Every structure is written in C-alpha cells, then in structure tokens.
Chain A
Amino acid sequence: MSTDKVVRIANGQGFWGDSQMAPIRLVEDGPIDYLTLDYLAEITMSVLQKQKRRKPEAGYATDFVELLKIIMPRCREKNIKILANAGGVNPRACVEAIKNALTEIGISGVKIAMVDGDDLLPQLDALIDGGEPFTNLDTGAPVSDIRQHITSANAYTGAAPLVAALKEGADIIVTGRTADPSLVLAPLLYEFGWAEDDYDKKAAGTIVGHLLECGAQSTGGNFTDWQQVPDFAHIGYPIAEVSADGSFVLTKHEGSGGLVNEDTVASQLLYELGDPENFLSPDCTSDFTSIQLEQVGDNRVRCSGIKGRAPTGSYKVSMSYAKGYRVLGQLAFTGPDAVAKAKLGAEIIFERCAMYGKPIPEADRFVEIFGNAACYKGAVADPVQPTEVLLRVGAKSRDRSQLEILGREIAPLVTAGPIGVTGYAGSRARPTEVIGYWPSLVDKSKVCDRYRVEEI
C-alpha cells in the first residue's frame, strides 16, 4: 500500500439553500476525487415527509437532480464521485429522477447507489412496542407526550453501506439520513482500507467531515477577522487532502477567494460542538482535544494526532412532530421615539386580538424590536436611540384562527397608529406550522441500513 496516496475530498454544499456556485467551482477549478453535498437540516425531514404525503414521488431534494445535470459531464471527465444525502425520505424516487435526468443529457454507463433503511416512521409502533423508549435526550420527557403528532423519524446511520456501494463501483451515492461525517468518512474508509475498529483513523475521517460539512465556514466564511478574507464572491469551498495515516491538509483551490489558516480551521472545529472529548457519530467517538493544527503553506493547514474510540451502541434519531402554529409579521417605525412607538404598536395589535374574543396569553406573545440590540439582548449596551427600528411581532398557538387575526391586524397600524409606520407592502402574515424537534436514540440492532447499486 502506497503511503504517499492522497485522497482529495470536498464538500460543495453546507445546507440546502447554499450557493450552487460552490459545487460548480469545485468541479471546475482544480483536482478533487470526491464531492459531497449536504441537504438535510433537522426540520428538513419533516418538510419532505409532508411533501411525500401529498405526492408519493416527492420527498427528496430536487435541487440535487438539477445540479447533477450541470456538473455530471465534468465529473465524468475527471472521475469525480459524488455522495449526497439528497434522498431525504424518498431515496428511491431521487434515484429514478437522476436516471431520467442523466439519460436526458445523454449520459450512460454511470453506477448509482441508493442507501436507505434510516426511515423509522413506518415501523415506529413496532419499535416502541418492542421496548425502544425514544425518550427526549434533552428533557427526559417520554415519547408518549408527542406520539400522536410525530411527523418524521430517521436514524442517523453510518458509513458502512456507502463503503460497500463504493466497492461495487458506485459513481453517485444517494442516501437518506446518513450522518454528515459518515458521508465523508466512507470514501476514506474505501480508499485506504482502514479497519473497522481503527477508531483513531475513523475519528480522523469524521473530523474531516466536520470541517467540510458547513462549506465555506472553514475557508473564511462567518469568521471573526472577516476583514482578512479576500474575495468572498469567489470563496473556495474546503478540500481535505487525506493521507493513509489519517492526517490531512485542509485547503481550497488555487486562485479561489477565501482564507485557510489555523484560526479559520479552529473556528469550524468548534462549530456545533458539545463535549469535545466525546464527539459521537455512528462510526466512532472522536476526541476533538487531540487535534493538532499547523499552517504548512498559503491556505494550507495540516491536521494530525487525532484520537478516537468505539462508537456507542445507539444511533441518534432525528424525530420531529407537529407543535401547533406560529405567525410572524413586521413593520418599520421611524423616529423620533421609534422604540416607544414600536412597543405601542405591539400593544395595539394584541389588544385588537382580545377585542375579537381571541386574546393571546402573555407567554405565547412574541415582540422583538430589531435595531434596538435585539440579537445582542442584554449582552451589549446600546445607549444610542435608533433612528428606525423593525417591529417583529407574532405569537404561537394551537388555534390557527387566533393567529390569522393577529396577522390581519398588523397593516392597519399604518393609518390607525402613530406616525412613522411603513414597510407594510408584501403579503399579509399567515400562520405556518411549527415543527418541534425531539432528539432521542435507537438501538443499532433495530435498524437495517442497506444499499443497492444500479447502472444506467
């Protein structure tokens, strides 16, 4: 086995809604071997389940199919393999759509793998009756509290089925709720043949995933010293050049915008982190206090020394449930007395709700005066009276009609409230569903994640 082998893996999307320019630039501007794309935030699964209930062929990230039409020709040319969790709650339909799309643009001879088995919704009753408690990890509350309202339940599964698919020659892999770091770890396990119980290497691959998964946040995006970062428009998304011993260099394409130094890399290491010595993923437990960083060139940071341990016997479960409704509207108030007038505006709106016989309890009301240190509430002194503010006003309720009334009574303030009210154009604020988040665990033995490779 060559110890000089380097595998280049990049992530082209930090979240569904990230810039499409990123994956396009990654496949055009330099060498990469693998491209991953992340489409699934916590609430996405619930949204996709809702789409699938309305249309059986829906429930996956359609943007991925559109992106493939653009980048596939170049990926074929450069032998870049693509892994994406775009399957959502319908990986089957996603694969069918990809087959049609590639055929449309005259591409054949491509192996597409589907990975699923993460969707627990169909067998939730059996799992609960069989003794899986799905207790809320944060609050300790029992799943019976929300049982009738559950809208999605997916296990965060690991790298194994993706590795198997790669061994069968898959060029594109579409998954459901595979854990983000596993999407990146799988190609590394495949390329280097790391052992199933080599947890130090698996932790290294997992940390590569953590550094890549939020796109430009490793390469100068959302960075404290932002004035040091050149050319945000052309910001290069992160690429990890990984070696057989698990060490890697975090970098970006030559000529791209952005910045890679120990500070930008450390910033992303710390993102969405809990207990750093015990970073749990389906494949291993990683120790973030073991990582050593070293700048080894322009926009090149070497990461090494990573240690890991065995994973737990459970998968984390992403479960969401219907939690009533919310409504949110806004109006601009200009000074003098912008803040006082905005507060008065909120009082009027809630009094109107009561006049219809639909009072909203204090605890359910929401008033935020944006422009008056709303985001830094209490943390930063803001003695200067703002010239203008945005009143953000709304409420949460199980009664949708109550929230409809609130939405309707916002615009009337323009002609029936204090002077200096504007910014009312645009549609009336309408109630939308609140999707509750319920983190829990499921025993790994109860989940059958699996894969299938087909060729077009």
Chain B
Amino acid sequence: MAVVKLMEIAIARSGDKGNNSNIGLRARSPEIYEFLRSELSEQRVKAHFKDICFGKVTRYELPNLRAFNFILEQSLGGGGTDTLLMDAQGKVHGLALLHMEVDVPDALLATVNKPA
C-alpha cells in the first residue's frame, strides 16, 4: 500500500454550468477504475471540497471511458459575473480533486502506464 495523490492514478478536467461545477475524472487503468468506484464516493469528494462546494455532490459513472462525472452544486460563489472568486468557472476544481490523497495497493499502482 502507498499513499499517493489521485493524480498518480487518474486525470481530470472541470467545467461550469451556472453556480455548479463538474469534474470529469478518468482512471489511468481499468483496474484503478474499479478501485475508485468504491474509494471515490460522493461523500468523500464532498468532504474534500468542504470549503468550496456548499450544495450536493452527485456522481455519475461512464464505464466506457473508465471515468466518473462529479457535479458539485453551489461551488462557484454564484457563477458567471455573479462571483468574485479567482476561479469563477471552476477551471481548477479538477486539479484540486487530483490532489486528494488515497491509499492504493502496490499491485494497482503497477497498472498505471504514465510517463514520468
């Protein structure tokens, strides 16, 4: 087992819709996707974003892309021009999620095919 940041085992991109952001997270291997299905719950993501997301977190699954789509409601301080936040459109919410620390079995880390 090793504690690694999510970015070691996944990639992500985030976007906005009104006052909500979405984070698409794609596992770096099919095995990691299965692992994250139980590890990366809505509650865990909501806790990670406790000071950013003030609404519900909903998780959708896209097994064809070994990916999840997380919707973070009320996470943009109003969104559009209605927010004064530097990250008004949640462009870096994805990268913020990739900083999450996860305990990963060594065998799973070995399935990652990522350039150094």
Contacts and interface: CB of A to CB of B under 8 A. Distances in A.
A and B pair up: yes
A288 interface: yes
Interface string A386-430: 000000101010000000000000000000000000000000000
A51 to B, nearest CB: 16
B96 A380 contact: yes
Contact of B13 (A217, A274, A276, A370): A217
Interface in A428-450: 432-437, 439
Contacts of B13: 217, 222-224, 267-268, 270-271
Interface in B51-108: 51-52, 60-65, 67, 69, 71, 79-82, 84-87, 91-92, 94-100
Contacts of A323: 82
Nearest to B11: A224
A439 to B, nearest CB: 6
Describe A's contact surface by its main secondary structure: mixed
Describe B's contact surface by its main secondary structure: mixed
A269 B84 contact: no
Given A267-B13, A272-B22, A288 B62 contact: yes
A383 to B, nearest CB: 14
A291 B64 CA distance: 7
A366 B15 contact: no
Interface in B1-24: 7, 11-20, 22, 24
B18 A375 contact: no
Contacts of A228: 115
Contacts of A436: 80, 82
Given A217-B13, A378-B51, A437 B18 contact: yes
Contacts of B64: 289-292
A273 B24 contact: yes
A266 interface: yes
Residue among A271, A368, A370 facing the most chain B CB atoms (10 A cut-off): A271
A433 B80 CA distance: 12
Contacts of A293: 65
A313 B63 CA distance: 29
A328 interface: yes
Interface in A276-301: 276-277, 288-293
B99 A379 contact: yes
A222 B82 CA distance: 24
A380 B99 contact: yes
Given A224-B12, A275-B60, A378-B50, A270 B26 contact: yes
A356 interface: no
Contacts of B24: 266-267, 269-271, 273
A50 B84 CA distance: 22
B84 A328 contact: yes
Interface of A: 42-43, 138, 217, 222-225, 227-228, 263, 266-277, 288-293, 323, 326, 328, 366, 368, 370, 374-380, 392, 394, 396, 432-437, 439
7 contacts: A225-B11, A269-B24, A271-B24, A375-B92, A376-B99, A433-B81, A435-B82
- Top 6 nearest A-B pairs by Cβ distance? A270-B24, A378-B51, A272-B15, A224-B11, A366-B84, A267-B13
Given A274-B69, A375-B96, A378-B52, 6 more contacts: A138-B20, A269-B65, A270-B24, A378-B51, A379-B96, A396-B84
